[in-house]
Amino acid sequence: MREEHPVYHLSPGLTDSWHIFRYEDVRQLLLSPDVFSSDRGLQGGGDMADANLSFLFNNMISASGDKHRRLRMIANRAFMAKAIEALRPAVQNVVDTRMEIALQTGDFDLVEDFAAQITVAMICEVLGLPPEDMDQIRQWTAVLGDNSGAVTWLPELDPALAERGRLAGGEMTAYFRDFLSRPGWSGEALFAAFRNAGPEGEQLSEAELLSMAMLLLLAGNETTTNLITNFVRLLDAFPDQAARLRADPALADGAVEETLRMRNSIRNIDRFALQDVEMHGVTIPKGARVVVWLTAANRDPAVFDDPDDFKPDRSPNRHLAFGQGAHMCLGAALARMETRTAAHAILTRTSRVELTAPPQLGVNANFDNVTRQMVRF
């Protein structure tokens, strides 16, 4: 597709969309929010009046222009490098604990018993949610991550799956609403800061506050869980590189970047064309849904030598796994810290990792997600 159909029109019906594959096109497109908007309200689909779904419409990832800038600025403080660096001991602690348990267990599920335990614990720590709620939170986010979230706003694609997502969305919204009205909970100060941080002194609406909490919870665990899992799967697929990494664990950070490039958790993201745009002789019409393939861009041979090879020392490695431009991932520093810490622990504390069953793959077309991967350390 990258070579022959750099702009591909998939039609008709619900999937009517224009697909972009080349690195430079993807980058330029993401850097042009005035032409290709993230505003989900413009895309139609989903029922904005449905209280179970309002979380889809009121967050920064689905907003554009001033609304986006305002919401992002408010959350930014909690994700600045200094704030994330302060989490390092907690990240190390949870990785060490999960490693101890994994080393004492025979076969275990790398996704749920290791990776998700780290990422859910950390996002709960950031948001001030009680550790005893982790299992429930993980269940909701796994349901929303494994496709029902994606089809919730286009329920015609799969009504049963969409309903599961709708219910999980409703339960999570009720869960957060309850906390927000509870005095003295651990996240009170953070959420009070979010609520009152409007640039002109205005407060976030309750819908925006709830939506922010849901976005951070969802974005903060499903993606990084996949990244940790895919790091281990690449060690298995490239045994020579795995041996090299074990001999020199300092290469672990580079290996995590290669995992982001080759097995990015988020395969594609959507935009909405605000005007007719001509690309490679094809006219993308105003109003079109545009699907931006990060995963294809990250293997574009025009930018990456031997793109299908896993090279922990690849330099430079300007992958687009975290997106680009105004919406570039807010949690990239946290995701990197968690995954690098886990990768380092795996390389230094195990002598090999054996995949003891084939992976179970998720059905979400937007995600490179594994729902179960049995392993033995």
Can you give the binding site for ligand HEM, defined by CB under 6 A? Answer: 38, 60-61, 72, 123, 215-216, 219-220, 223-224, 227, 264-266, 269, 321-323, 327, 329-331, 334-335
CB atoms inside a 10 Å sphere around CB 247: 9
Cβ-proximal residue to ligand HEM, closest one: 331
Shortest Cβ 72–ligand HEM spacing (Å): 4
Q: Which is nearer to ligand HEM, 43 or 105 (CB)?
A: 43
- Alpha-carbon distance of 55 to 42, in angstroms, equals 16
In this structure, are residues 165 and 144 in contact, taking their beta carbons and an 8 Å threshold? yes
Q: Which is nearer to ligand HEM, 142 or 269 (CB)?
A: 269
Q: Which is nearer to ligand HEM, 41 or 167 (CB)?
A: 41
Q: Which is nearer to ligand HEM, 36 or 179 (CB)?
A: 36
Shortest Cβ 63–ligand HEM spacing (Å): 7
In angstroms, the Cα distances linking 276 to 12, 62, 326 are 19, 21, 21
Shortest Cβ 361–ligand HEM spacing (Å): 17
Shortest Cβ 203–ligand HEM spacing (Å): 20
Q: Which is nearer to ligand HEM, 262 or 266 (CB)?
A: 266
Q: Is 225 exposed, middle or buried (0-12, 13-18, 19+ CB in 10 A)?
A: buried
Q: Which is nearer to ligand HEM, 33 or 165 (CB)?
A: 33
Shortest Cβ 265–ligand HEM spacing (Å): 4
Shortest Cβ 159–ligand HEM spacing (Å): 26
CB atoms inside a 10 Å sphere around CB 354: 11
Shortest Cβ 267–ligand HEM spacing (Å): 10
Q: Which is nearer to ligand HEM, 6 or 145 (CB)?
A: 145
